[in-house]
Amino acid sequence: MRSHAADLLCHRKKKVLFAASPLAQIKSAREAKVRHRCICVLALERQVFDFLGYQWAPILANFFHIILVILGLFGTIQYRPRYIVVYTVWAALWVAWNVFIICFYLDVGGLSKDSNLLTFNISAHHSWWSEHGPGCVRREMPQAPGIRTTESHSYITVMGCLMDYQYIEVVHSGTQILVALLGFVYACYVVSAITEEEDSFDFIGGFDPFPLYHVNEKPSHLLLKPMYLST
């Protein structure tokens, strides 16, 4: 009886502890999928426009970003704190990368948006938004009849843009920074919650072969002997 009561008490303590733990307050895996899908959609959207502009450095950065977002999603669903920590570190690096992109397009710190830094000096391509921004009218001006060069491309003029392309890139990077900061905070919360959950489970004897509330009960061998009352 004492052993059964001790086991029942331990089971009740587990239920109360798990119900009050921070991990119980984490939203469902479906909501975590929605968050990471939104991050992936934003990354894919940026990847598409970087591909159109042949921006090789951002293309590589976006590729690693998508991979690590998927890794963070897997760690959140499967409760793997190590994977979430990797995503957390990457989120901090992703913020730093987007700050660099903002400085690049705003010509801050000796950087110039007219340089070929983002294309690794392989080509002279620039942002896709420089010619296809909202309201932009793109016109190709053919070369003069008497001028012939080895390059066959025509001169292109862009007019009537409602917003300069560098500000569009800054808005993109600012959005990525905001989303990355939210993901960083959420990832830190999940890691701390999982760690507290594991510590709590270990405290109540979840990983201990001899639980805290274990009661040693020795079997009693009592011999019932008849008693005779003398009259």
Q: Which two tokens stand for residue 32?
A: 């975590």
With 0-12 CB in 10 A as exposed, 13-18 as middle and 19+ as buried, what is 13? middle
The type of residue at 177 is I
The per-residue pLDDT for range 75-115, each reduced to its tens digit, is 888 888 899 999 999 999 999 999 999 999 999 989 999 89
| Domain boundaries, given as residue ranges, for the chain | 2-121+164-203
SS3 state of residue 230: coil
Sequence-distant (≥ 6) Cβ neighbours of residue 85 within 8 angstroms:
187, 191
pLDDT tens profile 174-208: 999 999 999 999 899 888 888 887 666 554 454 44
Name residues whose C-beta falls within 8 Å of residue 125's C-beta, 6 or more positions apart in sequence.
Answer: 53, 54, 55, 119
With 0.75 as the threshold, say if the pTM is over it.
no
Task: Dihedral sign for Cα 99, 120, 116, 133, please.
Answer: negative
Q: Is the dihedral of CA 197, 199, 204, 205 positive or negative?
A: positive
